[in-house]
Structure 1
């Protein structure tokens, strides 16, 4: 096997390829131009997309040239979902999201050197194509019978699927053909659910040019119980720090299951086989140390948000639970933490700041004022990591971090936040 494919397979980045031997020979011939597409269906990518960005990055590091397609055209249509018809966004909204995604994807590849990456937009070759040209030049090469047999289409037939979404596969096939013609692209990569679209494009290129091109898809990422990876109670884990803070992002990876953390390290970290092997042994022999989780969280947060943001996230986590100095955190970090805690506003009444027991109850760390009084009496209530022993204690101005935030805690792990306007 080609050395690159061998490494990708070891890291769990290959689910299926069109012809592994042919692809290996092709990669051995010299620089290969590949592409992966991202449709702007939201203003940010999430960690499900990160796997594809890392694959593009690994291909480039091995000497190949990545094209990152942001689908200004396909984003207007929407790849069919198993669960039902997509809501179409306005052209203006999609155009704005295209620019956001262009900025995001550009951070994971290099735009210098002989194999410099390129960002492309499929609106460039579809916007001026007439409906007649599309039907004659593209649609003519697709069998409705084969399109109906596609898994997502077959599942949607009972409830209905629009012609718009039914036709999506033609647009993605056109993308591969356009990039093959314009840029010499001979490899398309994507997630496992894109296999049907990728093979359709390969077949379209073969029918129209006779050329042989390739496809590679990554497996579906799952948790140990088989459920989808990358979701929290509040939703997807986004790459945009405004949607998922670096603190929450770092915490997400820290919470990786022992049974899956090594798999995630192989995919998302650039550590060597030996380093990952050592972390795997530590996870097996001393799981309480969570060494692999810390390595994973640090590596992925460094990649997505940078070292400084990761260090701030670590400092915030330490300070939250009394292992660091809260007052050393800057206002931005405190605001990020308060947002993740779901901090509530609790203002002065008659010019007086609230009682600590009121703060404990309002934050939700205890269910009631009476429970707050018991927590104080039992020695388990904390204000800004300072134990409170007086049930009648009241906040004062010195307790307000950067003039407006308060951290309250019940015991070791139950933490809440308040914003004093």
Structure 2
């Protein structure tokens, strides 16, 4: 059986490591306790957090014990890594609320029951530190010259690095030491921008405990076009279904670029590599089937099977897509039959007969329902021929909905471009 580290390597999770041989030796000794930190600056994580989440899930699936560490303490300071400006400092109440929400969210991916994984908050120990003792016992092990050489500090020095941010490396290094001492955690995993902070932790453990600890970084995941993961014209793609619906989440993945399909299947689904290998040979309709499987499997991991199937059915109905061929991705439980009509997952917007009688602009409906970001964008798209009311193209930015658009029914589809749908329904 392959070790979790070998699985992560094969699937493209590994960017930098402290010592390849020592990491292999660590996994050879038996179950490994590892940790990854999550920033509680918002009440939900987003797609950009999926790589570390999936890495912890793979670790657990291979019999290891992951620790998900919510940075409730370090979040009170702000991490300068990868930032050109100081982060807004949140209150303890905001941090605690966000940390609680993120903990619940992580439970969708990782099983925290019976000690199989640990969910910790570093506020539990960092907020209790005695400053003088911390300087004496921990601070003396850090070289200011080496800290200033770290890339995260170099970037911030150009605009000004304050003393609060300067302490962040010490606190993250101390987290690793604390987890090593109390939970036997010998491996830290994180984004490539955290490399300097992670090395500080391994060095601190070596100096205090005279023992080895290891670090693995993940690559910065961008799309094949160079765009940051999880950003769309509507904003961030959140993992919380209340902020980004399962249908919208599904659409994000199904609309990915052809060049990203194989890589995303490896990173963001649990399908075996033997299934994914076929992607290299696919084109046209069958490559679109691979995108459908990616969207379904990614939605299932984040929102559950029922929500994934509902999003799949709605997407199939909206775009009249072909079902996935039986010979593709045999490990996936994606439905292979043509679904019954189901539009429940497509965003809806309710209006009244009085709204129509008052002269409701098509542009206004698009903006209020979130199909466009603003009224001005809706009018611009109408002028460019990019908005469709039913099967007809909207012609004028001042065009209004009429009872005839509903053809005697109570629902009407409005489409933006080729792939964004909205159902407008007349309420009582």
- 1:399 corresponds to which residue? 409
- 1:302 corresponds to which residue? 300
Contact 2:3 2:27 in 1 (8 A): no
| Worse-superposed segment, 96-105 or 286-295 | 286-295
Q: How far did 1:320 drift?
A: 3.5
- 1:156 corresponds to which residue? 156
| Worse-superposed segment, 220-229 or 79-88 | 220-229
Q: How far did 1:287 drift?
A: 5.6
Q: How far apart, in 2, do the equivalents of 1:203 and 1:411 lie?
A: 54
Q: How far apart, in 1, do the equivalents of 2:410 and 2:9 lie?
A: 52
Per-residue Cα deviation, 1:334-371 (whole angstroms, up to 9, x for no partner): 5xx13xxxx5967626x84758xx548854489679x8
Question: Pairwise mapping of residues 117-136 of structure 1 onto structure 2 (< 5 A)?
Answer: 117-136=117-136
Question: Pairwise mapping of residues 356-371 of structure 1 onto structure 2 (< 5 A)?
Answer: 359=362, 363=366, 364=378
Q: How far did 1:31 drift?
A: 1.2
Relative to the length of structure 2, the TM-score reads 0.82
Quick check: 1:249 aligned with 2:260? no
Per-residue Cα deviation, 1:96-120 (whole angstroms, up to 9, x for no partner): 001001101122122346x710111
Relative to the length of structure 1, the TM-score reads 0.83
Contact 1:279 1:291 in 2 (8 A): no
Per-residue Cα deviation, 1:11-50 (whole angstroms, up to 9, x for no partner): 1011111101111011001111111111201110111211
Question: Pairwise mapping of residues 212-227 of structure 1 onto structure 2 (< 5 A)?
Answer: 212-227=212-227
- 1:95 corresponds to which residue? 96
Change (3 A) 1:409 1:365: farther
Q: How far did 1:290 drift?
A: 1.0
Quick check: 1:109 aligned with 2:110? yes
Q: How far did 1:417 drift?
A: 4.9
| Worse-superposed segment, 300-309 or 6-15 | 6-15
Per-residue Cα deviation, 1:234-259 (whole angstroms, up to 9, x for no partner): 22211001111111110010011111
Q: How far apart, in 2, do the equivalents of 1:50 and 1:146 lie?
A: 31
Change (3 A) 1:152 1:419: farther
Q: How far apart, in 2, do the equivalents of 1:208 and 1:368 lie?
A: 66
Say what the alpha-carbon RMSD is for the aligned residues. 3.3
Secondary structure at the residue paired with 1:348?
A: helix
Change (3 A) 1:420 1:187: same
Larger radius of gyration: 1
Number of equivalenced pairs? 391
Q: How far apart, in 1, do the equivalents of 2:39 and 2:75 lie?
A: 5
Q: How far did 1:226 drift?
A: 2.9
Question: Pairwise mapping of residues 1-400 of structure 1 onto structure 2 (< 5 A)?
Answer: 3-80=3-80, 81-112=82-113, 116-282=116-282, 285-286=283-284, 289-321=287-319, 328-330=342-344, 333-334=345-346, 337-338=347-348, 348=354, 352=357, 359=362, 363=366, 364=378, 380-381=391-392, 394=404, 399-400=409-410
Contact 1:17 1:216 in 2 (8 A): yes
Q: How far did 1:83 drift?
A: 2.2
Q: How far did 1:382 drift?
A: 8.4
Q: How far apart, in 2, do the equivalents of 1:344 and 1:38 lie?
A: 38
